[in-house]
Structure 1
Amino acid sequence: MGDNTRRLEAVCEKVVEKVRPTADQDKRLREIYNLISGIITKFLSDLGVEASVMLTGSVAKGTHLSHDQDLDIFILFPVEKPLEDIKRLGLEVGERVASELGVKPERRYAQHPYTRLQFRDVRVDIVPAYNTEKGTRIITAVDRTPHHTEYVKKSLSEEQKDHTRVLKEFLRANNLYGTENMVGGFSGYLCELLIHHYGTFPNLVSHARRWTPPVVHVYAPDQIEPCDSPLVVQDPVDPRRNVAAATTTKAFSHFVVLANMFYEQPSEKFFTPIRIDASAETVKRVLSEKGTTLVSVVLERLPPIAEDNLWPQLEKSARYLRKKLVEQGFPVIHTFCWAGQGRAIIFLESQSVSTHPIRFNLGPHITTSWEKQRAYLGKRVSSGDVVAGPYLVGDRWVSETRREEINIVEGVRRILEKGHGLGRQIRKALRGSRVSLDPLEAATSGEVLNTILSEIRRDQLVQRFRVAHGCG
């Protein structure tokens, strides 16, 4: 065994001691599950409804973290039951549990609605699903979850469960854990399958540092559906599915870089999030140094929409805003989003707050028909807005025309008012949004400030490199 391998394993052992739940923590979670399971079972029995209750997720699989106190409780209904009945009963069960426990239920949305509640500092999700047989086609996306739980419980050794915890903590500290669209990272189930494949966290790291996309782990290549992903891990429960489908190229690339850094300099520091203490003054200074402006589009009233659906809507809208602003002459160099506490913000970083008074208009190539060129020249020559040209740049006609000078805030408002190209589910909220040139007006919390600073600096990996190598 080499010195570096020993160092990697030594770090892992220290991390395991920190993130493995204590016996008392597990006992407490089990007691809460038993309490809620009893409420659900009695309620369904009183209604004369056939269903079973199952604990799923990382707690059931034994891969949960000491600081991650979540329970995923599934109500499994017969496959013959109509989906609308399952949705209704699932919410009714959630309401009853919340009432019995004296807490407030929160309705959440995935493929279908479910209930989330907070009880004794434990987050509890109560999810209705179908009780499908292993190997049969699922009816809803969550129907796979019980089968995932059973697979991991029988496939991972206790040591591998600890190494899964180490991988999760590594990803969490570097903002790569979770398949939400705001992260696009590694799911808990993907972590479990990667450790099952590579055996240990150090072995995963030693391989991952040499990964070049696509990295493919399949056992039945003729069954998996075609996918364009940097990482492909076939689901042993559903061979058509790529478990890593939600992992973005950005998250994959970050993990490869971090694996190299950690392999070279094994340290517990990689398992601690880099502290960002943003202040209004720091944000203003960085923007001033860059010579850029940050426009915020604040959505104060969001429609009832699942978080997994919200982020694609925000990102689509941000891309469209950037595209249309660039067409208008605004040099937008970066967009990013934030969401939380029932509101969302789209940020647009631009190198200018107003359009240039001259616009370049591209005309036809000289290889097009003379009729089209003549029509273009005739239109431009007779236009009072042309200040130069038309003239040839290479083999293409170009003219320079005057255009209305507008402020970027006005430009954003015009795009929002038209609405085309924006996320359909948040279009109305965007039309009623507040647009500001003062990003600090939108930064109502330290979390938003931290997001702004992190995004305008875009130096997360450099920060990690500095910490690992003791140079900052």
Structure 2
Amino acid sequence: MKLEEEILQRITPDEEHRRFVDRVVSDLMKKVKKEISRLNLLLEARLVGSVAKDTYLPNPDIDIFIMFPPSVSRKELETIGLDIGRRVIGGEEHYAEHPYIHGKYKGLDVDLVPCYNIENPSNIKSAVDRTPFHTDFIRKNLADNQKPEVRLLKQFMKGIGVYGAEAKIQGFSGYLVELLVLKYGDFLSTVKSASEWKRGETLWLERRGDIKFNDPLIFYDPVDLTRNVASPVSIDSFSRFIYACSSYLREKDERFFFPKKKEDWKIKKIREFFKKRETAVVIVRFNRPNIVDDDLYPQIRKTEESAVNLLESHDFIVINRASHVDRHVLIAFELQSSKLPIAKRHEGPPMWIDHSKRFLEKWKGGKGLSEPFIDQGKLVVIAKREYVDAAELLRQRIKTASLGKDFKGMRFDVVSGKEVFRKDYRRIMTDLLDKRMPWEI
């Protein structure tokens, strides 16, 4: 039996699971319609997403849209839609372009999303209004024999860590996976084609849109040619998918679909690696704010990038970084050195430039570690560094950096030296050092 056939046997919902999913959907639809019947509004409940398209993997998310007439105000849509969602599943409020309710029902994740019932996708009032059109398009165009191919591609992407358009993953949405199978025909053809993708790869089905995009991957939405379905795919997810496809074609392995768990390294091994590398680590640690992942992860990336800029602006060379989230947010930076000499070469203008006088006035008279001198025609002084310790720099200045809005005012702990070799930090130190891809573990 071919590997793909074995994987399909594991990921295709059996009849019992299908009946269970159908019962859950039926129960939820009845509950939503009951709540709708209490209101004097022309609302419609609609199943969308992978369950509606029969492209789901076991234990799927259930996506039900509560569709409002376009005449209803945005505020009313949100208030009434959220109220219906809370009455049906309780759950918590999440936010995309506007709020929706996320919860669980009989063990499955459920999203109840208010949207507008639009006749033409070119007239949408919010991004989620397109989703019913996406569902209709796939149901109409995806052949039955392509549904297993979609499942294979979804599981492959899930295994390598690029499945999901949410902020945490920045990868491929289910709809994009379905479009790729429509484009290339099946799983293996998609993998072969993707192994040769280049940055800016531009795809479409029947027609190419006119708008130019600057994303790593472009796939014009057949439902709305002004939109790039692949816009959430980050350059790292795009590159990882290409790498995984090339690797899979060289040597097929079930670990592409079901990777082994990466084990945390022992402290002794971590110490040995850093001793061999002759580098240093500083870790920024703070409490995880009570916000949803789609708000959290962009702010972590912004804070991480800002901290790198802060370090590098003071001559600390960042060669590696990683972040990890549980009860705390941890951001680790591996530096060529966490300590620098107090002396720093500071170059000024050539002597014949007007600014040279100001440079001399600023630095003459023992204001640096040397008097100004001329080297290769330029004025130069040996100046004192403001910060010689990376950890101290972060302690003093991290709050002045460009932080995520929900991180402002929080307490930041900066861990360095021997303290980084505590058990609390095994996970992030492993992520920093063990760069194997999921299928290589």
Query: Does TM, scored on the shorter chain, surpass 0.5?
Result: yes
Q: 2:200 aligns with which of 214, 218, 241?
A: 214
Residue 347 of structure 2 corresponds to 362
Task: Find the residue that maps to 2:202 and give its secondary structure.
Answer: strand
The answer on 1:417 being equivalent to 2:373 is: no
Alignment of 1:12-161 (within 5 A): 12-66=4-58, 68-98=59-89, 105-161=91-147
Task: Report the Cα distance in structure 1 between the residues aligned to 2:333 and 2:124, rounded to whole angstroms.
Answer: 41
Q: Does residue 1:231 correspond to 2:211, yes or no? A: no
Tell me which amino acid in the other structure corresponds to 2:333. Answer: L
1:379 corresponds in structure 2 to: 362
Per the TM alignment, residue 330 of structure 1 is displaced from its structure 2 partner at its CA by: 2.5
User: Which residue pairs with 1:278 in the alignment?
Assistant: 264
Q: How far 1:350 moved relative to its partner?
A: 2.1
> Residue 161 and residue 137 in structure 1: after superposition, are their counterparts in 2 closer, same or farther (change >3 A)?
same
Partner of 1:4: none
The residue number in structure 2 matching 1:428 is 409
Deviations 1:298-350 (A, max 9, x none): 2315154x422322221111111111112223232233323345x43322222
Any conservation in 2 of the 1:296–1:442 contact (CA below 8 Å)? no
Tell me, yes or no, if the aligned pair for 2:82 and 2:99 is still in contact at 8 Å. Answer: yes
Summarize the Cα distance change of 1:435–1:280 in structure 2 as closer, same or farther, 3 Å threshold.
farther
Instruction: Say if 1:364 and 1:316 are closer, same or farther in 2 by CA, change over 3 A.
Output: farther
Offset, 1:385: 2.0
Deviations 1:185-204 (A, max 9, x none): 21111111000000011111
Distance in 1 separating the partners of 2:397 and 2:435:
27
Q: Could you tell me which amino acid in structure 2 is paired with residue 411 of structure 1?
A: L
Match of 1:319 among 299, 302, 305: 305
Q: Which amino acid aligns with 1:89?
A: I
Q: Which position in structure 2 is the counterpart of 1:254?
A: 240
- Structure 1 residue 267: Cα displacement: 2.9
5+ long unaligned stretches in structure 1:
1-6, 100-104, 468-472
Residue pair 1:318, 1:346 contacting (<8 A) in 2 also: yes
Kindly, what percent of the aligned residue pairs are identical?
Answer: 27
Name the CA shift for 1:383/1:180 in 2 (closer, same or farther; >3 Å).
farther
User: How big is the shift at 1:122?
Assistant: 0.7
Helix, strand or coil at the partner of 1:204: helix
Runs (4+) of structure 1 exceeding 6 A deviation are: none
- Matched residue type, 1:361: H
Of 420-429 and 157-166, deviating more is 420-429
Report the alpha carbon displacement of residue 166 of structure 1 after superposing the two structures with TM.
Answer: 0.6
CA contact (8 A) 1:76 1:128 kept: yes
**In the superposition, relative to structure 1, how do residues 325 and 136 fare at CA in structure 2: closer, same or farther (>3 Å)?**
same
Q: 2:285 aligns with which of 291, 298, 308?
A: 298
333, 336, 344: which one pairs with 1:348?
333
SS for the counterpart of 1:244 is coil
Task: Output the amino acid matched with 2:363.
Answer: R
136-145 or 279-288, larger mean C-alpha shift = 279-288
CA contact (8 A) 1:176 1:184 kept: yes
Out of 431, 435, 438, the residue aligned to residue 458 of structure 1 is: 435
Cα deviation for residue 404 of structure 1 reads 4.5
Q: CA deviation at 1:146?
A: 1.2
Q: How far is the alpha carbon of 1:406 from its aligned partner?
A: 4.8
Do the aligned residues in 2 keep the contact of 1:326 with 1:332 (CA within 8 Å)?
A: yes
Q: Which amino acid is the alignment partner of residue 391 of structure 2?
A: V
Number of equivalent positions: 437
Alpha carbons 2:43, 2:69 under 8 Å: kept? yes
Flag the 1:299–1:133 CA change in 2: closer, same or farther, 3 A.
Answer: farther
**Bigger mean CA deviation after superposition, 326-335 or 17-26:** 326-335
Q: Matches of 1:460 and 1:400 in 2, distance apart?
A: 45
The code of the aligned residue for 1:428 comes to: G
Structure 1: how far apart are the matches of 2:402 and 2:129?
34
Mapped to 1, the partners of 2:81 and 2:357 lie a distance apart of 68
Aligned residue in 1 for 2:252:
266
What is the CA-CA distance between 1:395 and the residue it aligns to? 5.5
SS at match of 1:428: coil
Distance 1:86 1:441 in 2: 50
Query: For residues 196 and 371 of structure 1, what CA distance do their matches in structure 2 show?
Result: 65
Question: Does structure 1 conserve the Cα–Cα contact (< 8 Å) formed by 2:100 and 2:114?
Answer: yes
| Paired AA for residue 27 in structure 1 | R
Residue type matched to 2:435 in 1?
A: R
What is the rounded CA distance, in whole Å, between the counterparts of 2:252 and 2:51 in structure 1? 28
- Counterparts in 2 of 1:353 and 1:239: CA distance versus 1, 3 Å: same
Matched, 1:289 2:276: yes
Q: Is the 8 A contact 1:329 1:356 kept in 2?
A: no
Q: TM-score, normalised by structure 2?
A: 0.91
Residues 17-58 of structure 1 show CA distances to partners (whole Å, capped at 9, x for unaligned) of 111111211211111111122112112221323311111111
Contact residue 342 and residue 388 of structure 2 kept, 8 A: no
How far apart, CA to CA, are the structure 1 residues paired with 2:30 and 2:221?
Answer: 32
When normalised by structure 1's length, the TM-score is: 0.85
Q: Report matched runs for 1:155-174 at 5 Å.
A: 155-174=141-160
Deviation of 1:265 (Å): 1.6
Q: RMSD of aligned C-alpha atoms?
A: 2.4
Which residue number corresponds to residue 470 of structure 1?
none
Deviation by residue 1:159-179 (Cα, 9 ceiling, x = unmatched)? 211111111111111111112
Q: Residue 289 of structure 1: SS of its match in structure 2?
A: helix
CA contact (8 A) 1:319 1:335 kept: no
C-alpha offsets along residues 270-317 of structure 1, whole Å, 9 cap, x if unaligned?
22214311144244443343333332222315154x422322221111
Tell me the distance in 2 between the aligned counterparts of 1:358 and 1:118: 59
Say if 1:434 and 1:192 are closer, same or farther in 2 by CA, change over 3 A: same
In the alignment, structure 2 segments of 5+ residues that lack a partner are none
